[in-house]
Amino acid sequence: MAVAEIIITPLGTASPSLSKYVAKVHKVLERYKVKYQLTPMSTIIEADTDTIFKIAKEMHEVLFEEGIQRVVTNLRIDERRDKELTMEGKVKAVMEKLKGE
Q: Point out which residues bind a copy of itself (CB under 8 A).
A: 3-5, 9, 11-20, 22-23, 26-27, 37-42, 44, 46, 49-50, 53, 56-57, 60-61, 64, 69-82, 86-88, 90-91, 93-98, 101
Least Å distance between CB 53 and a copy of itself? 5
Least Å distance between CB 32 and a copy of itself? 16
Spatial neighbors of 58 by CB under 8 A, at least 6 apart, are: 28
Asked whether 26 and 18 are in contact (CB, 8 A), the reply is no
Nearest to 14 by CA among 59, 70, 57: 70
Asked whether 5 and 43 are in contact (CB, 8 A), the reply is yes
Least Å distance between CB 36 and a copy of itself? 10
Least Å distance between CB 33 and a copy of itself? 18
Q: Which is nearer to a copy of itself, 12 or 33 (CB)?
A: 12
| 3-class DSSP assignment, residue 52 | helix
